[in-house]
């Protein structure tokens, strides 16, 4: 073992290495070796921070000042980073999570069909009518759950557009405050922790190594807690 530094390697030899990820990348570039496992860890380039921050602010300025669509503004910033070699094109392509792309591309037409066919409105109206004349807190609880459900299968914007008039009409029908009902819809549209169908949940699915059952395992409890806290605060601080 004392002469290991002069040991000649033969084709097919396997070496167990321990060290920092940047050192492994350097070995991969400088030596004729093959790693049997993927090199993990982000490759940091502190000399390009200013350029990256510039394109980030450029995207924000396009959105906030020039009213450019968010998708176009962010695409402009991403293209700027690729053209200036802050991020190589192949690295950017590898970073695309195609599961997320197909998930959202399948969810968008599903949500559109759910709204345009009237299925969402029919389901919401049927469920709200089936509870009869509930108390204000029970009505807000049902409205919150329905909004969260529609946010998962369609979108939070579509859920808000659908549920606000229904919730306000139901609240006015029992003598409750319609404005509070609309606020419940707005807050419950973000109660989307159960499934990775929401855009934010889908974006962190691959980096975090999460699966659908991971979202359900954690999200069900968070969703219930979110709903009860929301309804409880209404009962304590608002006149409904």
Domain ends where: 95, 121, 149? 95
pTM: 0.67
Residue 75 shares a structural domain with residue 140: no
Percent of the chain with pLDDT over 70: 96
Q: How far apart are CA 194 and CA 191, in angstroms?
A: 9
pLDDT at residue 225 above 90?
A: yes
Residues 216 and 26: their CA atoms lie apart, in Å, by 41
For tokens 């190594």, the residue is 209
Q: 62-66, 73-77, 145-149, 171-175: which range is least confident on average?
A: 171-175
Domain boundary among 95, 123, 146: 95
Boundary (domain end) residue, out of 50, 78, 95: 95
Q: Residue 71 pLDDT > 70, yes or no?
A: yes
Same domain, 79 and 141: no
Q: What is the pLDDT of residue 2?
A: 59
97 within 8 A of 206, measured Cβ to Cβ = yes
Q: Are 41 and 151 members of one domain? A: no
Range of the domain at 49: 1-95
Same domain, residue pair 220 and 135: yes
If asked whether residues 134 and 230 sit together in one domain, one would say: yes
pLDDT of 180-189, one tens digit each? 999 999 999 9
Q: Based on the structure, what is the number of domains in the chain?
A: 2
Do 91 and 155 reside in the same domain of the chain?
no
Q: Could you give the CA distance from residue 83 to residue 211 in angstroms, rounded to a whole number? A: 34
User: Same domain for 177 and 213?
Assistant: yes
- In this predicted structure, the answer to whether residue 179 has a pLDDT above a threshold of 60 is yes
Q: Are residues 158 and 50 in the same domain?
A: no
- Tell whether 79 and 144 lie within a shared domain: no
């Amino acid at each position: 073992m004392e002469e290991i530094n002069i040991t000649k390697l033969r084709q097919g030899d396997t070496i167990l290495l321990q060290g920092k990820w940047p050192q492994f990348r350097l070995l991969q570039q400088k030596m004729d070796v093959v790693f049997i496992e993927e090199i993990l860890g982000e490759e940091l380039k502190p000399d390009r921070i200013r350029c990256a921050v510039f394109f980030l602010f450029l995207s924000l300025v396009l959105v906030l000042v020039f009213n450019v669509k968010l998708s176009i503004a962010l695409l402009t910033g991403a293209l700027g980073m690729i053209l200036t070699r802050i991020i190589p094109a192949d690295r950017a392509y590898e970073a695309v999570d195609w599961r997320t792309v197909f998930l959202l591309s399948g969810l968008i037409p599903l949500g559109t069909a759910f709204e345009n066919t009237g299925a969402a409105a029919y389901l919401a109206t049927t469920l709200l009518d089936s509870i009869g004349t509930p108390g204000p807190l029970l009505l807000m609880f049902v409205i919150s759950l329905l909004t969260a459900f529609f946010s998962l299968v369609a979108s939070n914007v579509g859920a808000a557009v659908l549920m606000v008039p229904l919730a306000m009409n139901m609240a006015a029908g029992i003598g409750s405050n319609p404005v509070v009902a609309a606020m419940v819809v707005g807050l419950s549209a973000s109660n989307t922790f159960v499934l990775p169908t929401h855009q934010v949940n889908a974006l962190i699915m691959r980096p975090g190594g999460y699966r659908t059952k991971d979202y359900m395992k954690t999200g069900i409890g968070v969703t219930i807690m979110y709903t009860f806290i929301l309804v409880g605060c209404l009962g304590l601080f608002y006149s409904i």
